[in-house]
Amino acid sequence: MAGESSEVAEPLLPLDSPVQFALGVGPKRAEAFRAMGVETCGDLLHFFPRDYAQSQGQVPVQQLQSDQLASIEGEIIQTRAIRRRPARFEALLEDPSGRCVLTWFNQMFMAEKLVPGVRVRATGKVKFFNARAQMLQPRIDFLAAPGSKGETPDLKPIYPASADLSSRVIALIMEKNIPLLLPQIREWIAPENLSACRLISRRQAYELIHRPGAWKYVQRARHTLAFHEFLLHQLAVGMKRHHQQQLQNAHPLRTDDMVDKRIRALLPFSLTAAQERVIVQLRHDLAARHPMNRLVQGDVGSGKTVVALYAMLSAVAAGAQAALLAPTEVLAQQHLLSLERFLGNSRVKTTLFTAAVAGASRKKALAGIQDGSISLVIGTHAILSDTVQFKNLAMLVVDEQHKFGVQQRAVMRGRYTGVHTLVMTATPIPRTLAMAVFGDLDVSTIDELPPGRQPIATRAVTSARRAEVYAYLLKQVQSGRQGYVVVPAIDENAAELLSATRVFNDLRDGVMKSHRIGLLHGRMEVLERREIMEQFRAGRIDVLVATTIIEVGVDVPNATIMIIEHAERFGLAQLHQLRGRVGRGIHQSACILLFDNQTPDPPPRLAAMIKYSSGFDIAQEDLKIRGMGEIVGERQSGRPDLLFPDLLLDPFLLPAARQQALAIIQADPHILAPQHAELRRELAARFQASLPLADVG
């Protein structure tokens, strides 16, 4: 492994020099490298092998041939360092058949490890000088003493290749250049902090990821690099937050016991233990002088709305205003309805505010929001528009924030600094992942459903049996229940997809002809949609055919059957959300997933739906099926991909990185201490625009 010392004063190959100048590259290969995202020599370090293979055995020194790439094994019998420029280090390797000179330029630290008596494997290109075999800049793996049961260092990196640059050529280029680049790698944190986490230095990690020797070193290298990446991210997030807390004043909302009692009196049920726990966390946050920034994650139907209501009423009780933002019109109305149900006996004035609220009612809402006579505003992103001027907004609740655009999220952050924020999501993710994805939020989890919920019977059925499924729907309707049919596309879409309109027409003229049936999709007028939703809620429509517009939030307890057409087209999280529309009342409910498939076996996603009912299990399964990167990418919007997204699930790495980051910020909030100079530089390079450190250094 690389030495820690002996830095070269002037590196032969500065990290920021164009890759063209790397050994063995030149203009043509540089072009090919650039096409793969490698611009500088330093980028070579980050161009990781995609896999590793066992290499072939070694060659006796005697049989070496000029220009051959070979591995030899033997004992170092002599070394010498030549210090005149360019500084050179030579070691003589001996095997039973002969001797070979190993030569390095500008890597005097090799002298520390390559001492007479050690056994190594040297891999590199062979040259003959004065009839003597030589290897220039070979890669070295240390071998165990002969006879002992050491690890055989025989893993060869396989690089992602392109048509113009084969993996083998890349490996050769790496062999030559990595050793020149390694000495320039700086450490970010003290070695003892790394070893405490059983990690190695950055320099060692980069060396090992390119030439690990054994699998266990690949692991160690990946863990170390991932840790550093997490650390940087957690630092960035932590600093932002620290800064925010220092600078932003918020209206402290102290919910005394009186207020607490009054809020609870509005609820027709007692809270679950999980809801209680989250409320304790909320009360603590809200009482602070700096803004709350909390995510509440909980499965569909776990009762997040009540928790949000508690937070909003804390603001109202303190004489301030609160707002609830929903991603869709339908959902905003749903929220308004359910909140008004709780608020029926109170004097809290609410209003709906969406793009569809127009004319006189819009004027009235705007005026009430501005003069403070309306304390609770429920709506869509229309609330974020400049025309909406709150008198004193203290609490903002955002439902399903990831459904909002980047732009809208920026407005929320920018415009409402100093406002307590509560974000809710019904697609819970594992805690460590939440830390990474929502690093700047505190995370609360409601991991329990209100009592008395019946499990939803879930079946996956090939579409060949559609008729049976609809016969079952008919039976449900005849016994007074309601149902949903969800279809992936609206209409005039890809021919093989059933459109909602067609399904609607078929049912209306067929199975459901003596029942009331409604159609709901995103291309309908908002008012029309609202009307349909209203009728379904009131029980005047028996079956609602809809697109995923009903995905979140719709709450109709009498609906007991959910049929999903082309279920194979939906994501797992989405399917789970859809299923959550039923099972909300006292009747046993069912979810039927119709799929098109050559085989009668349901695809993995549908199998997961049958197997799991909890959103947490579903999320774990989703991670397995889709992979980490995709999910993280979807949530984090605008952040570059993580190098090792799979390691986010490691139970140890991310928490360790977070802990270190917090300790660093605690001791050195602006990352100004000399021992953090490297970290600071890296933070500035990657997060410059968004970090408070930009204006200090």
Residue (170 or 578) nearer to ligand ADP, CB: 578
Query: Can residue 679 be called a binding residue for ligand ADP (CB under 6 A)?
Result: no
Query: Is the separation of the CB atoms in 665 and 235 below 8 Å?
Result: yes
In whole angstroms, the minimum distance from the beta carbon of 553 to Mg ion comes to 5
| DSSP structural state of residue 456 | P
Site pattern 448..487 for ligand ADP (x: CB under 6 A) = --x-------------------------------------
Q: Does 309 bind ligand ADP (CB under 6 A)?
A: no
For residues 555 to 594, the per-residue mask of contacts with ligand ADP, x marking binding by CB under 6 A and - elsewhere, is x---------------------------------------
User: Alpha helices, DSSP H only, in 56-135?
Assistant: 110-113
Using rule CB under 6 A, residue 443 touches ligand ADP: no
Decide: helix, strand or coil at residue 437.
Answer: helix
* Nearest residue to the partner ligand ADP, using Cβ: 303
Residue 41's binding partner among ligand ADP, Mg ion, none (Cβ under 5 to 8 angstroms by kind) is: none
Name the residue with tokens 């039923």: 582
Closest to ligand ADP by CB, 346 or 505:
346
Torsion sign across C-alpha atoms 481, 596, 566, 518: negative
* Part in contact with ligand ADP (CB under 6 A); list of ranges 48-56, 221-229, 267-275, 665-673: 267-275
- State how far the Cα of 281 lies from the Cα of 446, in Å rounded to an integer: 12
Contact 238, 409 (CB under 8 A): no
Residue 213 touches which of ligand ADP, Mg ion, none (Cβ within 5-8 Å per kind): none
Minimum distance of Mg ion from residue 685's CB (angstroms): 41
Q: List the interface residues with Mg ion, window 129-158 (CB under 5 A).
A: none
Question: How many other β-carbons are positioned within 10 Å of the β-carbon of residue 195?
Answer: 11
> Does the footprint of ligand ADP cover residue 337 (CB under 6 A)?
no
DSSP element (H, E) containing 36: none
In angstroms, give the least distance from the CB of 407 to Mg ion.
Answer: 24
The stretch near ligand ADP (CB under 6 A) out of 246-254, 270-278, 594-602, 634-642 is 270-278
- Pair of tokens at residue 686: 């990657």
Q: Residue 156 forms beta bridges with which residues? A: 53
Output the DSSP codes for 234-294.
Answer: HHHHHHHHHHHHHH---------HHHHHHHHHT-SSPPPHHHHHHHHHHHHHHTSSS--EE
Q: Which span sits near Mg ion by CB under 5 A: 549-557, 561-569, 605-613, 614-622? A: 549-557
For ligand ADP, the binding residues in 393-432 under the rule CB under 6 A are 426
Cis peptide upstream of residue 86 (ω within 30 degrees of 0): yes
Query: How near is the Cβ of 305 to Mg ion at its closest, in Å?
Result: 5
555 binds, among Mg ion, ligand ADP, none (CB under 5 to 8 A by kind): ligand ADP
Residue 655 interaction partner, one of Mg ion, ligand ADP, none, beta carbon < 5-8 Å per kind: none
Match 């980028």 to its residue by tokens: 43
Does 327 participate in binding ligand ADP (rule CB under 6 A)? Answer: no
Work out how close the CB of 269 gets to ligand ADP at its nearest, in angstroms, rounded to a whole number: 4
Output 103 or 275, the one with its CB closest to ligand ADP. Answer: 275
Choose one: 81-89, 265-273, 437-445, 526-534; the region binding ligand ADP (CB under 6 A).
Answer: 265-273
558, 539 Cβ separation under 8 angstroms:
yes
Q: According to the 3-state scheme, what is the secondary structure of 611-678?
A: HCCCHHHHHHHHHHHHCHHHHHHHHHCCCCCCCCHHHHHCCCHHHHHHHHHHHHHHHCCCCCCHHHHH
Annotate 166-220 with DSSP letters as a single string.
Answer: -HHHHHHHHHHHHHHHGGGPPPSS-HHHHHHTT---HHHHHHHHHS-BSHHHHHH
> Per rule CB under 6 A, is residue 275 in the interface with ligand ADP?
yes
From 298, 379, 488, 583, residue interacting with ligand ADP (rule: CB under 6 A): 298
The burial class, CB within 10 Å (0-12 / 13-18 / 19+), for 21 is: middle
Taking the C-alpha atoms of residue 430 and residue 428, their distance in angstroms, rounded to an integer, is 7
Report if residue 301 touches ligand ADP, rule: CB under 6 A: yes
Stretch that binds ligand ADP, among 212-220, 300-308, 415-423, 655-663 (CB under 6 A): 300-308
Task: Report in angstroms how near the CB of residue 431 gets to ligand ADP at its nearest.
Answer: 18
Question: Could you tell me the end-to-end alpha-carbon distance of the chain, in angstroms, rounded to an integer?
Answer: 35
Binding footprint of ligand ADP, residue count (CB under 6 A)? 15
**Which chain residues interact with ligand ADP by CB under 6 A?**
269, 271-272, 275, 298, 300-306, 426, 450, 555
Residues forming the site for Mg ion (CB under 5 A):
553
